[in-house]
């Protein structure tokens, strides 16, 4: 429909997650009209990321050198490992400023529909890290959905016999949320996990 190179760009943009054909067209025409410098910066950012970013050899987080920022930081405790699905989950946990241990990024969750099994995740690497007995606690911080729960259950069974403390993040009402609008599963979890606060 469009002159060749414009259609090529629309096609390539349409392959990105969450970008449909209409958004791809909108972005392509935005870039066509944009300043050459803006497009240059986007191209440079893409090129740099592919050239410089790799994955931390220890934890699997994104890194610009062999080890990521967290694994390089000597102030972070080596006694606790927080296991997450993706590098972006590391960022989410870091934002809380609650956690001062290390991470382990699985690279996904068990998902039979997408054909992702335990062997496709960085579970062997996790077991290797646990072998020397330094780690005291493993926090399972998978997403609270079917795939995340399945992965957490699998890991809990695998790590249980190793004599470590294995914990899972609490489920319950989101802070700032409204009880009336909570779905029944979340509200059920909130009841299950209720705490004594007085009396």
- Binding to a copy of itself in span 114-153, by CB under 8 A: none
Site for a copy of itself contains 97 (CB under 8 A): no
SS3 63: strand
Strands 102-105 and 137-140: unpaired
Are 71 and 56 in contact by the 8 Å Cβ rule? The answer is yes
Decide whether 52 or 165 has the Cβ nearer to a copy of itself.
52
Question: Please, what is the minimum distance in Å from the beta carbon of residue 54 to a copy of itself?
Answer: 9
Residues in the chain: 199
Can you tell me the distance from the alpha carbon of 55 to that of 142, in angstroms, rounded to the nearest whole number?
19
Please state, in angstroms and as integers, the Cα–Cα distance from residue 148 to each residue in 49, 108, 131, following that order. 28, 9, 24
Site for a copy of itself contains 73 (CB under 8 A): no
CB atoms within 10 A of CB 198: 3
Longest dimension (CA), the chain: 74
With contacts defined by CB under 8 A, name the span among 45-53, 72-80, 145-153, 189-197 that binds a copy of itself: 45-53
**Of 69, 76, 168, 189, which one interacts with a copy of itself (CB under 8 A)?**
69
Question: Please, what is the minimum distance in Å from the beta carbon of residue 125 to a copy of itself?
Answer: 17
Sites of contact with a copy of itself (CB under 8 A):
1-6, 8-9, 11-13, 15-19, 23, 25-32, 36, 38-43, 45-50, 52-53, 62-64, 68-69, 86-88, 91, 94-95
């Amino acid at each position: 429909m469009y002159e060749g190179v414009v259609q090529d760009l629309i096609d390539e943009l349409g392959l990105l997650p969450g970008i449909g054909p209409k958004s791809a067209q909108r972005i392509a025409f935005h870039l066509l009209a944009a300043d050459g410098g803006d497009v240059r910066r986007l191209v440079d950012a893409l090129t740099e990321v592919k050239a410089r970013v790799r994955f931390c050899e220890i934890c699997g987080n994104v890194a610009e050198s062999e080890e990521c920022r967290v694994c390089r930081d000597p102030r972070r405790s080596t006694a606790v490992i927080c296991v997450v699905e993706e590098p972006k989950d590391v960022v989410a946990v870091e934002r809380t400023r609650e956690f001062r241990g290390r991470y382990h990024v699985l690279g996904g969750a068990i998902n039979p529909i997408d054909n992702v099994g335990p062997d496709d995740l960085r579970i062997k690497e996790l077991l290797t890290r646990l072998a020397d007995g330094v780690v005291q606690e493993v926090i399972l911080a998978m997403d609270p959905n079917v795939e995340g729960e399945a992965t957490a259950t699998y890991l809990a069974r695998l790590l249980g016999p190793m004599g470590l403390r294995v914990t899972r993040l609490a489920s319950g009402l989101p802070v700032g949320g409204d009880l009336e609008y909570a779905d029944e599963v979340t509200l059920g979890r909130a009841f299950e996990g209720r705490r004594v606060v007085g009396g």
